[in-house]
Structure 1
Amino acid sequence: MYFAALLARTEDGWEASDTELDDVETLSDLADLAREASPEEDTVFVLIEQEDSWFGLVRVDGEEDPRIFVSDASAAARSAYGELLLTDELLGREPGADDGPDLDALDLDGTEDGESEEDGDDDEEGGDTAAGSVPHGPVGDGRLLDDLGVTEKELRNMDPNEALADIAAALGASDVLETVR
Protein backbone atom coordinates (compact mmCIF):
# COMPACT_ATOMS: atom_id res chain seq x y z
CA MET A 1 0.00 0.00 0.00
CA TYR A 2 1.27 3.44 -0.94
CA PHE A 3 0.94 6.78 0.76
CA ALA A 4 1.90 10.07 -0.85
CA ALA A 5 1.52 13.59 0.50
CA LEU A 6 2.82 17.10 0.03
CA LEU A 7 4.17 18.95 3.04
CA ALA A 8 4.61 22.66 2.38
CA ARG A 9 6.21 25.18 4.70
CA THR A 10 4.28 28.44 4.92
CA GLU A 11 4.60 31.52 7.10
CA ASP A 12 1.89 29.95 9.32
CA GLY A 13 3.72 26.62 9.66
CA TRP A 14 3.48 23.37 7.73
CA GLU A 15 0.50 22.47 5.56
CA ALA A 16 -0.08 18.93 4.36
CA SER A 17 -2.18 17.66 1.51
CA ASP A 18 -2.87 14.19 0.22
CA THR A 19 -1.75 13.82 -3.37
CA GLU A 20 -2.44 11.48 -6.24
CA LEU A 21 0.57 10.48 -8.28
CA ASP A 22 -1.31 8.58 -10.99
CA ASP A 23 -0.93 11.42 -13.52
CA VAL A 24 2.72 12.11 -12.63
CA GLU A 25 5.05 10.55 -15.18
CA THR A 26 8.44 12.19 -14.49
CA LEU A 27 10.44 13.79 -11.71
CA SER A 28 9.85 17.12 -13.45
CA ASP A 29 6.08 16.59 -13.20
CA LEU A 30 6.48 15.76 -9.52
CA ALA A 31 8.54 18.91 -8.89
CA ASP A 32 5.92 21.01 -10.70
CA LEU A 33 3.19 19.48 -8.53
CA ALA A 34 5.19 20.41 -5.43
CA ARG A 35 5.79 23.98 -6.65
CA GLU A 36 2.04 24.42 -7.20
CA ALA A 37 1.51 23.65 -3.50
CA SER A 38 3.56 26.71 -2.49
CA PRO A 39 3.01 29.83 -4.58
CA GLU A 40 5.49 31.69 -2.34
CA GLU A 41 8.31 29.35 -3.39
CA ASP A 42 8.70 28.02 0.15
CA THR A 43 10.09 24.55 0.84
CA VAL A 44 7.83 21.68 -0.18
CA PHE A 45 8.38 18.00 0.45
CA VAL A 46 6.81 15.16 -1.47
CA LEU A 47 6.61 12.22 0.91
CA ILE A 48 6.11 8.76 -0.53
CA GLU A 49 6.11 5.43 1.25
CA GLN A 50 5.37 1.86 0.39
CA GLU A 51 4.43 0.05 3.54
CA ASP A 52 7.10 -2.32 4.87
CA SER A 53 9.43 -1.59 1.98
CA TRP A 54 10.80 1.91 1.29
CA PHE A 55 10.20 5.64 1.58
CA GLY A 56 11.23 8.56 -0.54
CA LEU A 57 11.51 12.30 -0.07
CA VAL A 58 11.68 14.97 -2.71
CA ARG A 59 12.56 18.45 -1.51
CA VAL A 60 11.67 21.39 -3.74
CA ASP A 61 12.90 24.85 -2.78
CA GLY A 62 11.45 27.36 -5.25
CA GLU A 63 12.88 26.94 -8.73
CA GLU A 64 15.96 24.98 -7.58
CA ASP A 65 16.43 21.43 -8.81
CA PRO A 66 14.62 18.90 -6.61
CA ARG A 67 16.70 17.05 -4.03
CA ILE A 68 15.85 13.38 -3.60
CA PHE A 69 16.38 10.69 -0.99
CA VAL A 70 15.20 7.08 -1.33
CA SER A 71 15.61 4.68 1.60
CA ASP A 72 16.02 1.51 -0.48
CA ALA A 73 16.68 1.93 -4.18
CA SER A 74 16.28 -1.73 -5.10
CA ALA A 75 12.86 -1.92 -3.42
CA ALA A 76 11.78 1.39 -4.96
CA ALA A 77 12.88 0.23 -8.42
CA ARG A 78 10.14 -2.40 -8.29
CA SER A 79 7.52 0.32 -7.82
CA ALA A 80 6.04 2.71 -10.37
CA TYR A 81 6.27 5.56 -7.86
CA GLY A 82 9.82 4.63 -6.95
CA GLU A 83 10.85 4.68 -10.57
CA LEU A 84 9.84 8.37 -10.68
CA LEU A 85 12.52 9.14 -8.11
CA LEU A 86 15.31 6.86 -9.33
CA THR A 87 16.75 9.06 -12.04
CA ASP A 88 19.90 8.16 -13.95
CA GLU A 89 21.68 11.01 -12.15
CA LEU A 90 20.61 9.74 -8.72
CA LEU A 91 21.84 6.24 -9.58
CA GLY A 92 25.09 7.47 -11.12
CA ARG A 93 24.26 6.16 -14.59
CA GLU A 94 24.68 7.78 -17.95
CA PRO A 95 21.34 9.26 -19.11
CA GLY A 96 19.49 6.74 -21.22
CA ALA A 97 21.69 3.85 -20.12
CA ASP A 98 19.90 0.54 -20.37
CA ASP A 99 19.79 -1.05 -16.94
CA GLY A 100 18.41 -4.35 -18.17
CA PRO A 101 20.43 -7.48 -18.95
CA ASP A 102 22.37 -7.78 -22.17
CA LEU A 103 20.06 -10.15 -24.03
CA ASP A 104 22.81 -11.05 -26.52
CA ALA A 105 24.95 -12.35 -23.64
CA LEU A 106 22.24 -14.72 -22.37
CA ASP A 107 22.42 -18.39 -23.18
CA LEU A 108 19.24 -20.26 -24.01
CA ASP A 109 19.05 -21.48 -20.40
CA GLY A 110 18.83 -17.87 -19.17
CA THR A 111 22.34 -17.61 -17.72
CA GLU A 112 24.97 -15.17 -18.91
CA ASP A 113 27.95 -16.35 -20.97
CA GLY A 114 30.51 -18.04 -18.76
CA GLU A 115 28.13 -18.30 -15.80
CA SER A 116 26.68 -21.48 -14.37
CA GLU A 117 23.01 -21.72 -13.46
CA GLU A 118 23.92 -21.92 -9.78
CA ASP A 119 25.96 -18.70 -9.93
CA GLY A 120 23.03 -16.59 -11.12
CA ASP A 121 23.53 -12.82 -11.16
CA ASP A 122 22.56 -12.06 -7.59
CA ASP A 123 24.92 -10.85 -4.90
CA GLU A 124 24.88 -12.02 -1.27
CA GLU A 125 21.92 -9.77 -0.42
CA GLY A 126 19.88 -11.04 -3.36
CA GLY A 127 20.34 -8.04 -5.65
CA ASP A 128 21.36 -7.80 -9.24
CA THR A 129 25.05 -7.09 -9.69
CA ALA A 130 24.90 -6.54 -13.45
CA ALA A 131 26.29 -3.29 -14.81
CA GLY A 132 23.78 -0.50 -14.40
CA SER A 133 21.86 -2.26 -11.63
CA VAL A 134 20.08 -0.45 -8.85
CA PRO A 135 21.96 -0.57 -5.53
CA HIS A 136 20.55 -1.96 -2.32
CA GLY A 137 19.96 0.57 0.42
CA PRO A 138 19.67 4.33 0.47
CA VAL A 139 20.51 6.63 -2.43
CA GLY A 140 20.31 10.36 -2.91
CA ASP A 141 20.85 13.42 -0.77
CA GLY A 142 20.86 12.20 2.81
CA ARG A 143 21.44 15.77 4.00
CA LEU A 144 18.24 17.26 2.58
CA LEU A 145 16.81 17.58 6.12
CA ASP A 146 19.98 18.75 7.92
CA ASP A 147 18.79 22.37 8.15
CA LEU A 148 15.51 21.14 9.65
CA GLY A 149 17.06 19.05 12.41
CA VAL A 150 17.29 15.57 10.90
CA THR A 151 20.84 14.40 10.23
CA GLU A 152 21.91 12.17 7.37
CA LYS A 153 22.68 9.35 9.80
CA GLU A 154 19.21 9.61 11.36
CA LEU A 155 17.54 9.67 7.94
CA ARG A 156 19.48 6.67 6.63
CA ASN A 157 18.64 4.63 9.75
CA MET A 158 14.89 5.28 9.78
CA ASP A 159 12.48 2.36 9.68
CA PRO A 160 10.41 2.68 6.47
CA ASN A 161 7.23 2.07 8.47
CA GLU A 162 7.90 4.96 10.83
CA ALA A 163 10.03 7.33 8.73
CA LEU A 164 7.38 9.76 7.54
CA ALA A 165 5.91 10.07 11.03
CA ASP A 166 9.40 10.56 12.48
CA ILE A 167 10.26 13.21 9.89
CA ALA A 168 6.97 15.03 10.45
CA ALA A 169 7.58 14.96 14.22
CA ALA A 170 11.08 16.43 13.77
CA LEU A 171 9.61 19.21 11.61
CA GLY A 172 6.76 19.90 14.03
CA ALA A 173 4.24 18.78 11.41
CA SER A 174 2.88 15.55 12.89
CA ASP A 175 -0.67 16.81 13.31
CA VAL A 176 -0.99 18.19 9.79
CA LEU A 177 0.48 15.05 8.21
CA GLU A 178 -1.75 12.82 10.29
CA THR A 179 -4.85 14.65 9.03
CA VAL A 180 -4.16 13.56 5.45
CA ARG A 181 -3.07 10.03 6.30
Structure 2
Amino acid sequence: MYFAALLARTQDGWEASDTELDDVETLSDLTDLAREASVDEDTVLVFIEQEDAWFGLVRVEGEEDPRIYVSDAAAAARSSYGEILTKELLGGEDPDPADDLDALDLDGTEDGEPDEDEEDEADGESGPVGEFVPAGPVGDRQILMDLGLSERELLALDTDALPEIADSLGAADVLEAVR
Protein backbone atom coordinates (compact mmCIF):
# COMPACT_ATOMS: atom_id res chain seq x y z
CA MET A 1 0.00 0.00 0.00
CA TYR A 2 1.26 3.44 -0.93
CA PHE A 3 0.88 6.77 0.77
CA ALA A 4 1.68 9.90 -1.21
CA ALA A 5 1.46 13.52 -0.16
CA LEU A 6 2.56 16.91 -1.40
CA LEU A 7 3.92 19.54 0.98
CA ALA A 8 4.02 22.99 -0.56
CA ARG A 9 5.95 25.74 1.19
CA THR A 10 4.10 29.03 1.52
CA GLN A 11 4.70 32.32 3.32
CA ASP A 12 2.53 30.99 6.16
CA GLY A 13 4.31 27.64 6.49
CA TRP A 14 3.53 24.34 4.80
CA GLU A 15 0.33 23.25 3.07
CA ALA A 16 -0.23 19.54 2.66
CA SER A 17 -2.42 17.54 0.36
CA ASP A 18 -2.63 13.84 -0.25
CA THR A 19 -2.37 12.94 -3.85
CA GLU A 20 -3.37 10.15 -6.14
CA LEU A 21 -0.56 8.80 -8.26
CA ASP A 22 -2.83 6.91 -10.67
CA ASP A 23 -1.91 9.14 -13.62
CA VAL A 24 1.80 9.28 -12.77
CA GLU A 25 3.88 7.18 -15.14
CA THR A 26 7.13 9.15 -15.30
CA LEU A 27 9.24 11.47 -13.19
CA SER A 28 8.08 14.28 -15.47
CA ASP A 29 4.45 13.52 -14.53
CA LEU A 30 5.37 13.59 -10.84
CA THR A 31 7.30 16.83 -11.25
CA ASP A 32 4.37 18.45 -13.08
CA LEU A 33 2.05 17.38 -10.26
CA ALA A 34 4.37 19.03 -7.73
CA ARG A 35 4.67 22.22 -9.77
CA GLU A 36 0.89 22.51 -9.91
CA ALA A 37 0.84 22.53 -6.08
CA SER A 38 3.56 25.16 -5.86
CA VAL A 39 2.84 28.61 -4.54
CA ASP A 40 4.96 31.23 -6.34
CA GLU A 41 7.38 28.53 -7.56
CA ASP A 42 8.47 27.82 -3.98
CA THR A 43 9.57 24.45 -2.64
CA VAL A 44 7.28 21.45 -3.00
CA LEU A 45 8.12 18.10 -1.47
CA VAL A 46 6.55 14.91 -2.74
CA PHE A 47 6.47 12.12 -0.17
CA ILE A 48 5.93 8.56 -1.37
CA GLU A 49 5.95 5.67 1.03
CA GLN A 50 5.34 2.00 0.49
CA GLU A 51 4.36 0.49 3.81
CA ASP A 52 7.26 -1.25 5.59
CA ALA A 53 9.46 -1.26 2.47
CA TRP A 54 10.82 2.15 1.40
CA PHE A 55 10.14 5.87 1.19
CA GLY A 56 11.06 8.46 -1.38
CA LEU A 57 11.30 12.23 -1.52
CA VAL A 58 11.18 14.44 -4.56
CA ARG A 59 11.95 18.12 -4.12
CA VAL A 60 10.78 20.52 -6.80
CA GLU A 61 11.63 24.22 -6.87
CA GLY A 62 10.44 26.29 -9.79
CA GLU A 63 11.81 25.07 -13.10
CA GLU A 64 14.92 23.45 -11.60
CA ASP A 65 15.47 19.73 -12.07
CA PRO A 66 13.88 17.71 -9.27
CA ARG A 67 16.06 16.41 -6.46
CA ILE A 68 15.36 12.81 -5.42
CA TYR A 69 16.11 10.57 -2.44
CA VAL A 70 15.05 6.94 -2.00
CA SER A 71 15.60 5.08 1.28
CA ASP A 72 16.09 1.62 -0.28
CA ALA A 73 16.68 1.44 -4.01
CA ALA A 74 16.37 -2.34 -4.29
CA ALA A 75 12.98 -2.38 -2.53
CA ALA A 76 11.76 0.68 -4.44
CA ALA A 77 12.80 -0.73 -7.83
CA ARG A 78 10.32 -3.58 -7.31
CA SER A 79 7.37 -1.17 -7.13
CA SER A 80 5.86 0.92 -9.89
CA TYR A 81 6.34 4.33 -8.26
CA GLY A 82 9.71 3.43 -6.81
CA GLU A 83 10.85 2.31 -10.23
CA ILE A 84 10.15 5.82 -11.56
CA LEU A 85 12.51 7.29 -8.95
CA THR A 86 15.24 4.65 -9.09
CA LYS A 87 15.29 4.64 -12.88
CA GLU A 88 16.05 8.37 -12.78
CA LEU A 89 18.70 7.99 -10.08
CA LEU A 90 20.43 4.96 -11.53
CA GLY A 91 20.30 5.86 -15.18
CA GLY A 92 17.41 3.66 -16.29
CA GLU A 93 16.80 2.70 -19.86
CA ASP A 94 18.26 4.63 -22.75
CA PRO A 95 15.38 5.62 -25.05
CA ASP A 96 17.50 4.80 -28.11
CA PRO A 97 20.09 2.08 -27.37
CA ALA A 98 21.61 2.62 -30.83
CA ASP A 99 22.93 5.95 -29.55
CA ASP A 100 24.72 4.30 -26.64
CA LEU A 101 28.36 3.42 -27.31
CA ASP A 102 28.12 0.57 -24.81
CA ALA A 103 25.67 -1.13 -27.17
CA LEU A 104 28.54 -1.50 -29.64
CA ASP A 105 30.44 -3.83 -27.24
CA LEU A 106 33.52 -1.64 -27.31
CA ASP A 107 34.44 -2.84 -23.82
CA GLY A 108 36.14 -5.98 -25.14
CA THR A 109 33.47 -8.49 -24.17
CA GLU A 110 31.63 -10.74 -26.54
CA ASP A 111 27.88 -10.30 -27.02
CA GLY A 112 26.13 -11.79 -24.01
CA GLU A 113 29.34 -12.18 -21.99
CA PRO A 114 29.10 -10.43 -18.60
CA ASP A 115 31.53 -7.70 -17.67
CA GLU A 116 33.68 -8.37 -14.60
CA ASP A 117 31.78 -5.58 -12.82
CA GLU A 118 28.50 -7.40 -13.39
CA GLU A 119 29.89 -10.57 -11.82
CA ASP A 120 30.82 -8.67 -8.65
CA GLU A 121 27.35 -7.19 -8.05
CA ALA A 122 26.15 -9.77 -5.52
CA ASP A 123 25.17 -7.22 -2.84
CA GLY A 124 22.36 -5.65 -4.86
CA GLU A 125 19.58 -6.85 -7.08
CA SER A 126 18.78 -6.77 -10.72
CA GLY A 127 16.37 -3.95 -11.34
CA PRO A 128 13.43 -3.63 -13.68
CA VAL A 129 15.70 -2.80 -16.60
CA GLY A 130 18.21 -5.56 -15.85
CA GLU A 131 20.67 -3.13 -14.28
CA PHE A 132 22.25 -3.44 -10.86
CA VAL A 133 20.17 -1.80 -8.14
CA PRO A 134 21.96 -1.31 -4.81
CA ALA A 135 20.29 -2.18 -1.55
CA GLY A 136 20.11 0.93 0.62
CA PRO A 137 19.69 4.64 0.08
CA VAL A 138 20.35 6.43 -3.21
CA GLY A 139 19.97 9.99 -4.36
CA ASP A 140 20.47 13.41 -2.85
CA ARG A 141 21.21 12.82 0.82
CA GLN A 142 21.23 16.56 1.49
CA ILE A 143 17.78 17.06 0.00
CA LEU A 144 16.39 18.43 3.29
CA MET A 145 19.55 19.86 4.86
CA ASP A 146 18.53 23.50 4.41
CA LEU A 147 15.06 22.68 5.79
CA GLY A 148 16.34 21.29 9.09
CA LEU A 149 17.04 17.58 8.49
CA SER A 150 20.70 16.65 8.21
CA GLU A 151 22.10 13.92 6.00
CA ARG A 152 22.89 11.81 9.06
CA GLU A 153 19.34 12.15 10.39
CA LEU A 154 17.88 11.27 6.99
CA LEU A 155 20.03 8.16 6.66
CA ALA A 156 19.00 7.03 10.16
CA LEU A 157 15.32 6.98 9.21
CA ASP A 158 13.65 3.70 8.41
CA THR A 159 10.24 2.93 6.99
CA ASP A 160 7.38 5.07 8.27
CA ALA A 161 9.78 8.02 8.20
CA LEU A 162 7.44 10.61 6.77
CA PRO A 163 6.00 11.74 10.12
CA GLU A 164 9.54 12.26 11.46
CA ILE A 165 10.56 14.19 8.37
CA ALA A 166 7.44 16.36 8.55
CA ASP A 167 8.09 17.00 12.25
CA SER A 168 11.62 18.23 11.53
CA LEU A 169 10.20 20.57 8.87
CA GLY A 170 7.55 21.91 11.23
CA ALA A 171 4.84 20.34 9.10
CA ALA A 172 3.77 17.36 11.22
CA ASP A 173 0.25 18.69 11.86
CA VAL A 174 -0.49 19.45 8.22
CA LEU A 175 0.86 16.07 7.07
CA GLU A 176 -1.14 14.24 9.73
CA ALA A 177 -4.28 16.03 8.56
CA VAL A 178 -4.02 14.37 5.13
CA ARG A 179 -2.83 11.00 6.37
TM-score by length of 2: 0.81
Other-structure match for 1:36: 36
- The one-letter code matched in structure 1 to 2:35 is R
In structure 1, C-alpha distance between the alignment counterparts of 2:63 and 2:47, rounded to whole Å: 19
Other-structure match for 2:165: 167
Which of the residues 157, 175, 180 maps onto 2:178? 180
Shift of 1:149: 1.1
* Contact 1:121–1:128 (Cα < 8 Å) also in 2: no
Structure 2 residues without counterparts, runs of 5 or longer: 98-110
In structure 2, C-alpha distance between the alignment counterparts of 1:145 and 1:32, rounded to whole Å: 20
In structure 1, C-alpha distance between the alignment counterparts of 2:49 and 2:92, rounded to whole Å: 24
Matches within 5 A, 1:23-172: 23-88=23-88, 90-92=89-91, 95-96=94-95, 105=112, 123=122, 127-128=125-126, 132-161=131-160, 163-172=161-170
- The one-letter code matched in structure 2 to 1:139 is V
- The one-letter code matched in structure 1 to 2:24 is V
Q: CA RMSD in A?
A: 2.5
- The SS at the match of 1:175 is helix
Structure 1 residues without counterparts, runs of 5 or longer: 98-103, 106-111, 114-119
Query: What is the identity percentage for the equivalent residue pairs of Structure 1 and Structure 2?
Result: 69
- The SS at the match of 1:86 is helix
- Return the structure number with greater helix share: 2
In structure 2, C-alpha distance between the alignment counterparts of 1:81 and 1:93, rounded to whole Å: 14
Structure 1 segments, 4+ long, off by >3 Å, are 92-97, 125-129
Shift of 1:160: 1.1
* Contact 1:42–1:61 (Cα < 8 Å) also in 2: yes
